[in-house]
Structure 1
Amino acid sequence: MSSYEVHRDLRSIRLAQWGQVVPADDVVPYQVVDPDGRPVEPIRRFLRDFLARGHSAGSVRSYAFDLHRWWRFLRAVDVEWDRATSDEVRDFVLWMGQAEKQHRVPRTTSAATAGQVNPITRKQYPGDRYQARTIRHSNAVLRCFYEFVIDAGDGPLVNPVRRDRFRGRRANAHHNPLEPFRSEGRLRYNPKLPKQRPRAMPDEQWNELFAAMRSNRDRAILALAVSTAARASELLGIRMADLDWGDQLAQVRRKGSGAQQWLPASAESFVWLRLYLDELSDLSPGDPVWWTLRLRARQGEPPARRALTYDALRAVLRRANTALGTNWTMHDLRHTSALRMVRSQKLSLRDVQVILGHAHLTTTQIYLVEDDHEVLRRVHHYLTEREQAAPEPKPVAVGYDADDLAVLLGGIPQ
């Protein structure tokens, strides 16, 4: 421990409402601006480079929010961004571990269920504290940001987000001299992740959710999601040219890599898709498949349908969850589809990996872990069968004694 380390009362730190993340009318879709509306220059340069390296607009937005939170924390502890050390990173992680999220708009109906477990789905509602996965993502963003500014000669000499080397062996012990050195070891202040097992939605609850949909559009997108295992963002990116009606295939653009991939879909999903598209006017091959059901007007424009957004799709599920008392998400449909394929024993794990779009087979192997709730369901079914009364024995033929037959055949005398 250094002699000049600053001891902070982390529980008393409250982040001020300084600056914000805003959409930008520029090549870089999002920017972090100060209270005067001016872009924060180090973050602007980093996000521009980050986007040029092939990352999506959604990733730019996510990184911008993490960096904005870091800037606000540094202002609260009175440290400049280029003077931050591993002590600030450590305190930031400790602060996030105990702080409550600050909402621009106070919670309403969700305040009563925050952090609780839904009795029907047995899934936990989002809480008011930062989860371990959020903290780890924040550390990765800060590590990437400081690597960029250090390479540019604008930041500190040492990256404040430090790594711990693997114990028992030297880093890059088997390094190929023809390849660059790569960082090894976990980030020092990364919290451990709780083990989370994917869960399949039970068939009866899937039927209830599907029945709660109000339109052919909503039925079509849910049926397509549960049969293709595609992510919500991938489904929303489908265009008319991406539908193969003859072979019942849908082409998606994979999250992250942007690679195009054809996925097989169920016949039922294409039936609902046809019913939905018959309600719309003619669409060109380049038009999105999913549109709003109501006509919406913008300033200076006539009322028209708008392309369905992720927030609008979440609103569809939110209405259904309110009616059913559940908390299902679109990602639950992806898990359900993956587990159905694995449990069918008709597809190899490699087949499932290709459909899910996983780069590594180890990622797909999480679906081999048996779901505790599924085990409990099967054991309950077994116990129920055991408790059922045994069938009454058939009466013996005339002239035979039932007790004598029981002794002879190993039964129980009457």
Structure 2
Amino acid sequence: MMPGYGQERDLSSIVLPRWGRVEASDGVVPWAVVDEAGRVVEPVARFLRDFFACGYGALSVRSYAFDLLRWWRWLRVIGVEWDRATSEDVKDFVLWLQQAAKPRLSPRTGSAFTAGTVNPVTRKAYLDDRYKPRTTRHSNAVLRSFYDFWIDSGGGPLVNPVPLQRARGQRANAHHNPLQPFRAEGRLRYNPKVPKTRPRALPDELWAELFAALGSHRDRAILAIAVSNGARASEILGIRGVDVDWGEQLVRVVRKGSRAQQWLPASPEAFVWLRLYLAEVGGLDAQQTVWWTLRRRDRGEGLHRQPMNYEALRAVFRRVNGLLGTNWSMHDLRHTCSLRMARDENLSLRDVQTILDHKHLSTTADLYMLEEEADVVRRVAAHLEDRKVPPTVEPSMIGGYEAADLEVLFGGRAA
């Protein structure tokens, strides 16, 4: 229930119920949030319909639906209607996310020993069961957008419960010119800070080890394409037969954000592995996906190969990581390609931005125009070695020490 004045909720004791679910829809909007009886949650459905009409993709709709489902479960626990939520409810929700564990359908087995630890080979942390700061920030952005929609529609609360950050003693958006159209600015007040991480490229020896551990020509073709042009997993999995230009050695992908089609180059080795894979599956249909499962499954019409999806690609990495004791992911190949291109003197930063499909050049520069820490340490060590000067105090002038010890300490320069 809503706490009274001066009272605080016991957040550590709150466990969200398994209420409702996100399910695929046959209507115009591809995803919907339904309650325990299978009825569509109408406030969420109207928002997602408007969101989808703004041009966002099906995956974005699905992501927003899951965040709103989690918010609806939270509202049920605290006993507050969605249109009566306040900033205190949002603040408590953010605090709960910072200490709660993600719900799991089944307990961890083999991964229980590595969750939250750092892999000694890749130097990447394994995921644990805690909500990350990026998850909280995304949730806040979704809720802010949801309530903005209902405030504009006149059917929600008078004030958005997800407040903006502002300077002390200053009203929100006080800097705006009243003669200009209003545009909300500023970060959200309860957004946690996200630690900035450096992208890391796979060293050549580790890339060769990863590639050698793959079990099929299909997997080799996918990874070779990914490390050639940095395309995202969803973009590569969407390649059809008509999207392969054998003569120019190009593949066409549909970009994740803009949904624009773009031709990208791939290495000659990638096309060799692609040809070997297609020889195994028996050719290529121009309008069908290039990537198929290796095993045939019976879906009621006999044994047939199924289109490869993201979960099947993750299974490929799980098998390889299990063999190598690593935790590589598909996105590591994008970082590897990006850093290789950024360090190539024959490529400009604009070239790298175009291949990676970054909207702003500053994004490319901030992410990939960085020096490797190992190289920086090596150069600084060489600098210190060059600046090394002999001690200004003669060892013979220092009393209380054995002459042999001083000779070792000062590199044989003791008199």
TM-score w.r.t. length of structure 1: 0.87
Residue in 2 aligned with 1:408? none
Percent of aligned positions that are identical? 63
Give how far 1:263 is off: 0.8
Q: CA deviation at 1:27?
A: 2.3
Distance 1:176 1:276 in 2: 62
Aligned 8 A contact 1:166 1:185 in 2: no
Distance (Å, rounded) in 1 between the aligned partners of 2:49 and 2:34:
14
Q: How do 1:149-298 and structure 2 match up within 5 A?
A: 149-165=150-166, 171=173, 173=175, 180-298=181-299
Counterpart Cα distance in 2 of 1:123 and 1:132: 17
Structural RMSD (CA): 2.3
Which residue of the partner structure matches residue 411 of structure 1?
Answer: none
Shift of 1:44: 1.2
Q: Summarize the Cα distance change of 1:10–1:242 in structure 2 as closer, same or farther, 3 Å threshold.
A: same
Q: Which residue of 2 is the match for residue 306 of structure 1?
A: 306
Aligned with 1:262: secondary structure?
strand
Asked whether the 8 Å contact 1:165–1:184 carries over to 2, the reply is: no
* TM-aligned CA deviation for residue 25 of structure 1: 2.6
1:73 match: secondary structure: helix
Q: Which string of whole-angstrom CA distances, capped at 9 and with x for unpartnered residues, describes residues 342-398 of structure 1?
A: 11222111110001000001110121122325545x569989xx9xxxxxxxxxxxx
TM-score normalised over the length of structure 2: 0.87
Amino acid at match of 2:261: Q
- CA pair 361-217 structure 1, distance change in 2 beyond 3 A: same
The one-letter code of the counterpart of 1:85 is T
Indicate the larger mover: 218-227 or 301-310.
301-310
Range 365-374 or range 272-281, more displaced: 365-374
Look up the match of 1:351.
351
Contact 2:176 2:182 in 1 (8 A): no
Bigger shift: residues 38-47 or 208-217: 38-47
1:370 aligns with 2:371: yes
Distance in 2 separating the partners of 1:273 and 1:172: 58
CA distance in structure 2 between the aligned counterparts of 1:302 and 1:150, rounded to whole angstroms: 53
**Shift, 1:150, TM fit:** 1.4
Partners in 2 of 1:75 and 1:15 — Cα distance? 8
Give the corresponding residue for 2:338: 338
CA offsets, 1:225-265, max 9 Å, x none? Answer: 00010000110111111111111111111111101111111
Equivalent residue for 1:66? 67
What is the SS of the residue equivalent to 1:252? strand
Partner of residue 326, structure 2: 326
Mapping of residues 140-155 of structure 1, within 5 Å: 140-155=141-156
SS in 2 for 1:38: coil
CA–CA separation in structure 2 for the residues paired with 1:201 and 1:169:
48
d(CA) in 1 for partners of 2:57, 2:7: 38
1:398 paired residue number: none
- Give the aligned partner of residue 129 of structure 1: 130
Task: Tell whether the 8 Å contact from 1:254 to 1:357 is kept in structure 2 after alignment.
Answer: yes
- 8 Å CA contact 1:240–1:284 kept in 2: the answer is yes
More displaced 10-residue stretch of structure 1: 40-49 or 119-128: 40-49
Is the aligned partner of 1:44 residue 2:45?
yes
Secondary structure at the counterpart of residue 187 of structure 1 = coil
Deviation at 1:281, TM superposition (A): 2.5
The match for 2:389 is none
Instruction: Name the aligned partner's letter for residue 271 of structure 1.
Output: V
SS of residue matched to 1:163: coil
**CA distance in structure 2 between the partners assigned to 1:220 and 1:234 by the alignment:** 14
- 1:132 maps to a residue whose letter is P
* Per-residue deviation, residues 280-309 of structure 1 (Å, max 9, x unmatched): 2233211111111111111x3121111100
Against the structure 1 CA distance between its residues 33 and 275, is the aligned structure 2 distance closer, same or farther, given a 3 Å change threshold?
A: same
Deviations 1:13-45 (A, max 9, x none): 111111111222322222111111111111111
- Does structure 1 retain, via aligned residues, the 8 Å contact 2:164–2:172? no
Note if contact 1:172-1:181 (Cα within 8 Å) is conserved in structure 2: no
Residue type at the aligned position of 2:305? R
CA distance in 2 between partners of 1:18 and 1:3 (Å): 26
Cα deviation per residue 1:57-84 (whole Å; 9 max; x = unaligned)?
1111111111111111111111111110
8 Å CA contact retained: 2:217, 2:274: yes
3-state SS of paired residue (2:347): coil
The answer to whether the 8 A contact 1:166-1:184 is kept is no
Equivalent-residue separation in structure 1 for 2:379 and 2:121 (angstroms)? 19
TM-aligned CA distance change 1:211 to 1:70, over 3 Å: same
Assess if the C-alpha contact under 8 Å between 2:94 and 2:190 holds in 1.
Answer: yes
Provide the C-alpha distance between the structure 2 equivalents of 1:242 and 1:313, rounded to a whole number of angstroms: 20
Alignment-derived partner of residue 30 in structure 2: 29
Q: Provide the rounded CA distance (Å) in 2 between the counterparts of 1:25 and 1:169.
A: 45
How many positions carry a matched residue from both structures?
380
Deviations 1:118-168 (A, max 9, x none): 010000001111111110000000011111111222211111011123689
Q: CA deviation at 1:6?
A: 4.6
Cα distance in structure 1, aligned partners of 2:309 and 2:374: 33
Q: Given residue 306 of structure 2, which amino acid in structure 1 is its aligned partner?
A: R
**Corresponding residue number in structure 1 for 2:101:** 100
Report the Cα distance in structure 2 between the residues aligned to 1:310 and 1:176, rounded to whole angstroms: 48
Q: Where does residue 395 of structure 2 map in the other structure?
A: none
